[in-house]
Structure 1
């Protein structure tokens, strides 16, 4: 059966900038992941509005009374904030309240955090529409909806006048067919709809999309149970699950490169710290004017100079660039505007020099703090320390010796597969073996981007061995990247091991893209200790492309980058490219043509996902749309978006 759904995001911030809405896309993903051949949730309405009482009521009434949606779910405005008015707006619209659904949502969140007690959700029925309110945080919204989504078809059937028997029979059949535990035992169900008792041999709280880790191959699923979502939806899901690590204090030195400042940095010392000459010449009293004057000394930029000479009217002093201005001097005259009149008897010293110009007060003098005064913000919170931007130099110049920066995440890499061997194995390949190019590639990316990488080697397609290695790796890293084992084969064990053995949450397991369709993203642990898991395809090109699209941006976001997505430029195609039924990330080499004043993109050739040669010299991924009857190719000369993954030539 198909059910119509409306998702209403209530947020002052997101109503101004829709990119700030992370909860709406999260709810959409939950509905899509819960859809199957028996029950499909179709998102037919969505909107983002500010926290305004009348607008909330008008849209909910429109969607339920006129559009006759089966489910209307709101996200946001359920807390204790001054502007949190969603429950007050929704409650008067309900013709029946559903305290059981509300209790289930709160109870589920309370298992994760005591702060769930501060949420004020309401739920109920208006006409033939189920109305739910969930928190505005993506995590809270997801938890609340997942707590009740499996009973919504049954509730809708009852609201529409049915008995619920058909829906319950579907659920019963689905459980019998897909909810075997690792021992192959089935779940036992009471099919009476008045009381939904589910007795399991093992797991009593979760149902899994992945296959069991044991049991005959004949029972594995023939089609992926994971909804296919877009790359943009996947990026939103990742963003909602990625937080910045804590901050640490580190010395100001070259090791800061690649780190992001966790606080504003203030100048501790003025620059310059003394009155200094900007040019080589003579310190003078400007009011003396042109004339011939005795040279009483020399002022040079020298740390051993312990005191400043005293200059009186009618005297001058030779001075070098950066030399301290003598006391009493009011200007500097460049050496080019003077003439030597008399030298010492030995010819080594100047005694009399003629000044040819009228100096102005403070001319060619850098005053104390004229470049940077004490207390000036020299680097701002959120700025990236680069090798070329001068951030280290400016901090060093003002006496800053240590700063607070965000911790940089550590990521681990792990390859899977019985056929995979180390790339540097000296023996010849046996029939059916392949060399692992994924780990060397990721190690190289880690080195050039400055992120610390831990290499956990290769693990065979063995469930217990895989579980042990995953547990060990996750205890040592913030982000774990695996390759292989995420498709539909009988030895593709990543998803069931993550779900069933480790208790991880799989947020998506299939993407509408080429290459990289089976890319999987999961998390494990609470907000404070959450670990990210990216399980990428085994094909080397798919693994590398999805690393750049998903893993590297996540690492940058964790590290505190303000602009954590990779940069995108417009480039002109220099050759025709046939489009694919899926949106494609085409490997290309781009360069800037100074004559044309634009970037040019050259395809790297055959784009098959096993052909690592398509990554050679590649510095960009061209974002190509899916093929349609009207658009089957991109012709030479078309401008396309190119994601930069390497240096421009």
Structure 2
């Protein structure tokens, strides 16, 4: 279970204390713990960490089968087949994938076989249909004409124009994996290929650490859902959509609660409603020092069994005001992010994504950071704050996108990286190398 902040990690600070980015993240990661294991159906386990070694109860393929549409034959019967002197075999039956007991192939006989169908008893190889008179590409035009009226082309016979050695076009049993072999090792993150393998060996459930349920809610009486006409003084709620999408991108099962008006009692009730259905609650807005900072007013004074949310000032730009705590009987973690769109998104990448990945028990928990040359440089950066600037990164070069304003949503949509200017830096010279957080 998560522990309340200030337990074994960073201690509660005086209201005027400035936290570093690293201190705030460390407190979150010391509090959040991986979720308890569960047995889930395969599709619900996608993206989760496997918590058990899985062995194959059966071989793949489970039986010898054809990799081509064609004819299953004995090798000796087609060893001298040619365009001029085709082998003439009697067709003893058809074998489709999933069909019942296949016929036995004896000397001078063939069974028409489909891709994936089991190799019949007696057959040693498969001749593709293109090598026979039954395919569109089998034989030359002259050979086909020479045999067009031959009695051997009566129903139940096939002409084969090329030889096939033993085992040709056959998938042998256990060629992929043998019964009892290790199929997947504990610690594997289950993507589509791994889900497919589990299904192929007959597993319909698997023991994993589940994806966390994340509830995202924004605050502000001025927020209207997209699709509605805006009354004077209102804006569309973009943060809750962006953050819900970001939580899903990080691997969570996220749902958008929507915007809550600037009313502390209503907001507190909305949060409490989510505590029983979420493993993590993310709010955006209402964490600064304004008269209507509802999140801070509603949750900042809570103590005791109800938990506590601590509101902090961080030495970063954008995203200085932040809140973090655990609420409710299950001590559900809550991360309170700023309300400006860029501030909330940058805060998500720095703090919420690592929390989600930690709950999942999978890595990496943070975005990759690389070094890149910034031809334009950065004209100014606030002293004592770590600045994160939207940027485009490609081929070792990074270019700032838009200004430093935390309201510039279009510039954020054009960015695929963040330039990091450290606390001690106040500018970056043109052509200098900088740290870059990759957002993709």
The interval holding the TM-score normalised by the smaller chain is 0.7 to 0.9
**Within-5 A mapping of 1:237-248:** 237-248=27-38
Q: Could you say which residue in structure 2 is the equivalent of 1:305? A: 99
* Secondary structure, counterpart of 1:408 in structure 2: coil
Which region of structure 1 is more displaced relative to structure 2, 468-477 or 328-337?
328-337
| CA offsets 1:1-20 (integer angstroms, 9 cap, x no match) | xxxxxxxxxxxxxxxxxxxx
Q: Could you say which residue in structure 2 is the equivalent of 1:186? A: none
| CA offsets 1:454-479 (integer angstroms, 9 cap, x no match) | 4152231x444443333333333221
Q: Could you say which residue in structure 2 is the equivalent of 1:123? A: none
CA gap 1:241/1:316 in 2 versus in 1, 3 angstroms: same
| CA offsets 1:408-450 (integer angstroms, 9 cap, x no match) | 22222333345555555534324xx554332232234345555
Contact 1:299 1:320 in 2 (8 A): no
Q: Could you say which residue in structure 1 is the equivalent of 2:261? A: 459
Deviation at 1:281, TM superposition (A): 5.0
CA gap 1:385/1:304 in 2 versus in 1, 3 angstroms: closer
**Within-5 A mapping of 1:152-301:** 225-253=15-43, 256-280=45-69, 282-286=71-75, 290-291=79-80, 293-297=87-91
Deviation at 1:501, TM superposition (A): 2.6
Contact 1:279 1:364 in 2 (8 A): yes
Q: How many Å separate the matches in 1 of 2:94 and 2:333?
A: 58
Q: Could you say which residue in structure 1 is the equivalent of 2:229? A: 426
Contact 1:579 1:625 in 2 (8 A): no
CA gap 1:508/1:427 in 2 versus in 1, 3 angstroms: closer
| CA offsets 1:374-427 (integer angstroms, 9 cap, x no match) | 3334344343333xx422322222222232333322222333345555555534
Greater Cα radius of gyration, structure 1 or 2:
1
**Within-5 A mapping of 1:202-601:** 225-253=15-43, 256-280=45-69, 282-286=71-75, 290-291=79-80, 293-297=87-91, 302-303=96-97, 305-313=99-107, 315-332=109-126, 344=151, 347=154, 349-351=156-158, 353=160, 356=163, 359=165, 361-386=166-191, 389-417=192-220, 419-420=222-223, 422=225, 426-430=229-233, 434-446=235-247, 451-460=253-262, 462-492=263-293, 494-495=295-296, 497-503=298-304, 504-506=307-309, 509-524=312-327, 529-580=330-381, 581=383, 582-591=385-394, 598-601=395-398
CA gap 1:351/1:610 in 2 versus in 1, 3 angstroms: closer
Q: How many Å separate the matches in 2 of 1:300 and 1:601?
A: 63
Deviation at 1:368, TM superposition (A): 1.1
Deviation at 1:496, TM superposition (A): 5.8
- State the number of aligned residues: 417
Q: Could you say which residue in structure 2 is the equivalent of 1:640? A: 435
Give 5+ residue unaligned stretches, structure 2.
82-86, 133-138
CA gap 1:464/1:627 in 2 versus in 1, 3 angstroms: same
| CA offsets 1:146-177 (integer angstroms, 9 cap, x no match) | 9xx9xxxxxxxxxxxxxxxxxxxxxxxxxxxx
Cα RMSD of the aligned pairs, angstroms, is 3.7
Q: Which has the higher contact order (CA 8 A, sep 6+)?
A: 2
Deviation at 1:608, TM superposition (A): 1.0
Deviation at 1:321, TM superposition (A): 3.8
CA gap 1:355/1:490 in 2 versus in 1, 3 angstroms: closer
Contact 1:412 1:456 in 2 (8 A): no
Give 5+ residue unaligned stretches, structure 1.
1-112, 114-137, 150-207, 210-223, 592-597
Contact 2:5 2:31 in 1 (8 A): no
| CA offsets 1:85-131 (integer angstroms, 9 cap, x no match) | xxxxxxxxxxxxxxxxxxxxxxxxxxxx9xxxxxxxxxxxxxxxxxx
